[in-house]
Homo-oligomer: A and B are copies of this chain.
Amino acid sequence: MQLKEELIESHTIYRGRVVTLRIDTVRLPSGRTARREIVEHRGAVAIVPLLNPETVLLIRQYRQAVGETLLEIPAGTLEPDESPDVCARRELEEETGYAARQLRKLFSQYLAPGYSQEVLHVYLAEDLAPVAQRLDEDEAVELVPTPLQAVEAMVLEGQIKDSKTIAGLLMTLRLLEGERK
């Protein structure tokens, strides 16, 4: 089946600091044309930091887009030309004050491919060593060590509701349980 859409024209509405909004006109497989509203984004990383095999270090921060504080795994946007691995180590140290002696890539995911270009690379960080926490001047973040075995119930009960955090934690649970078998 022909699924691909063909780009006819593209124009940028707004160039922001985090996101850029553009409108694409595409030709559909049916032959008709359609408009697609697209959010451009540089990409990001997120890190599941294990303090020990039973405890994950989450962070709590306010998110103006949704008007509430959320419990999340540490994450951050790629700097221009920064590799995801380097970004993962940098964000982990800045946000939590820990460096990872072991860092492994788990998977990459598109967060909202219906309209957003953003790809997010998810890492598992183990064997952590304390370093100085270096939050950006305006970053207000609370560290929340959390039992790994509690996270599934926390998702089902609505205490964890950030998608990258849910996917990263559930994959970590499956991998660790598989390795312990």
Contact = CB atoms under 8 A, between A and B. Distances in A.
A18 interface: yes
Given A112-B111, A163-B163, A171-B166, A38 B26 contact: no
Nearest to A1: B142
Given A107-B161, A110-B70, A113-B66, A39 B26 contact: no
Contacts of A75: 114
A contact face: mostly helix, strand, loop, or mixed: mixed
B65 A4 contact: no
Give this chain's copy count: 2
A2 interface: yes
Given A60-B3, A171-B155, A30 B109 contact: no
A116 B112 contact: yes
A118 interface: yes
Interface residues on A, range: 35 or more
A1 to B, nearest CB: 5
Nearest to A138: B28
A30 B44 CA distance: 25
A144 B110 CA distance: 19
A113 B65 contact: yes
A100 B171 CA distance: 27
Interface in A27-53: 28-30, 32, 34-39, 41, 44
Given A3-B61, A167-B167, 10 more contacts: A18-B115, A19-B21, A28-B140, A65-B115, A66-B113, A75-B114, A106-B156, A112-B116, A119-B161, A170-B174
9 contacts: A18-B114, A28-B138, A30-B140, A38-B65, A65-B117, A109-B162, A152-B171, A163-B164, A166-B167
